């Protein structure tokens, strides 16, 4: 761990902030932290440095809703040239009563999924993930579908009734909160976490040397016990 580098998204508050702090305490030599606003994430880096009495934090502007911001962040990571040993994809939110779409037409709760995918693929293509990298994506128990008040969309039924059995099209409809997708903040959150579980499963199949996890309760240290899902896309 002496020479390791971590990247944590969504660190200006909450779990991402706590995880970045713990990684520094655990001895990571560089912890790259991200936020939508450069000024805010710089402020966060300064605060974390004071809290941990370390100088390991590197602030990085990253708005996962905007592909151009993801590309700019990737360009900066290429410039830094440090392979990442631990990637914690944490950024996300629970929406309000009214659905909100990004400029790309993606429901705001789902948008970080796409941004995280673009970031991860970009890091892979730039050879910026170390051979022993661990990838952790913030999950939720709601992905199992049995948490009260947190239902998720039945993608199989949506595909069968609205998309001629095409489950990929049904997932895209969920991402875009299409006309046949019921919007509720808790449902959108559960949908996002269910898609996270599917995405992590796909990463595990395609990247056998890499260990991706989606823990139900976010922790800074990766754990092989991820969220089990009862549905499949």
For residue range 42-99, what is the model confidence (pLDDT) as tens digits? 999 999 999 999 999 999 999 999 999 999 999 999 999 999 999 999 988 778 999 9
Of residues 219 and 139, more confidently modeled: 139
215, 226, 218, 116: which is closest to 175 by C-alpha?
Answer: 116
For position 211, what pLDDT does the model report?
65
**Looking at the predicted structure, is the pLDDT value of residue 228 above 70?**
no
Give the start-to-end residue ranges of the domains of the chain.
5-213
Q: How far is CA 26 from the centre of its chain?
A: 22
**Looking at the predicted structure, is the pLDDT value of residue 223 above 50?**
no
pTM for the full model? Answer: 0.87
- What does pLDDT average to over the chain? 88
For position 3, what pLDDT does the model report?
57
Residue 82 CB coordination number (10 Å): 16
The whole-angstrom separation of Cα 214 and Cα 138 is: 6
**Looking at the predicted structure, is the pLDDT value of residue 225 above 60?**
no
Helix (H) or strand (E) holding 137: strand 129-137
The whole-angstrom separation of Cα 25 and Cα 199 is: 30
Task: Give the count of alpha carbons within 13 A of 206, CB side only.
Answer: 9
Task: For residue 132, give Cα distances in angstroms to 128, 147, 204, 208, 209.
Answer: 11, 34, 13, 11, 7
For position 196, what pLDDT does the model report?
92
Task: Give the count of alpha carbons within 13 A of 184, CB side only.
Answer: 9
Query: How long a stretch of residues is the chain?
Result: 233
Question: Dihedrals φ, ψ of 79, to 5°?
Answer: -60, -40
Task: Please state which CATH class domain 5-213 belongs to.
Answer: alpha beta
For position 141, what pLDDT does the model report?
85
Q: What is the mean pLDDT of residues 205-219?
A: 64
3-state secondary structure of 139: coil
The whole-angstrom separation of Cα 107 and Cα 182 is: 12
The whole-angstrom separation of Cα 100 and Cα 196 is: 20
């Amino acid at each position: 761990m002496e020479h390791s580098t971590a990247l944590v998204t969504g660190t200006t508050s909450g779990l991402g902030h706590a995880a970045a702090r713990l990684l520094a305490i655990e001895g990571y030599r560089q912890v790259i932290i991200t936020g939508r606003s450069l000024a805010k994430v710089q402020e966060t880096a300064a605060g974390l440095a004071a809290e941990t009495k370390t100088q390991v934090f590197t602030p990085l502007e990253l708005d996962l809703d905007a592909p151009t911001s993801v590309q700019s962040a990737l360009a900066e990571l290429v410039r830094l040239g440090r392979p990442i040993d631990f990637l914690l994809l944490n950024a996300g939110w629970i929406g309000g009563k009214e659905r909100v779409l990004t400029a790309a037409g993606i429901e705001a709760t789902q948008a970080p999924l796409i941004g995280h995918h673009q970031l991860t693929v970009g890091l892979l293509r730039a050879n910026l993930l170390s051979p022993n990298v661990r990838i952790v994506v913030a999950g939720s128990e709601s992905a199992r579908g049995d948490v009260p008040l947190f239902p998720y969309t039945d993608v199989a039924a949506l595909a069968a009734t609205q998309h001629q059995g095409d489950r990929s099209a049904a997932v895209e409809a969920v991402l875009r909160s299409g006309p046949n997708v019921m919007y509720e903040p808790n449902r959108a959150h559960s949908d996002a976490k269910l898609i996270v579980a599917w995405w992590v499963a796909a990463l595990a199949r395609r990247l056998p040397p890499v260990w991706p996890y989606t823990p139900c309760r976010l922790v800074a240290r990766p754990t092989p016990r991820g969220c089990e899902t009862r549905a499949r896309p």
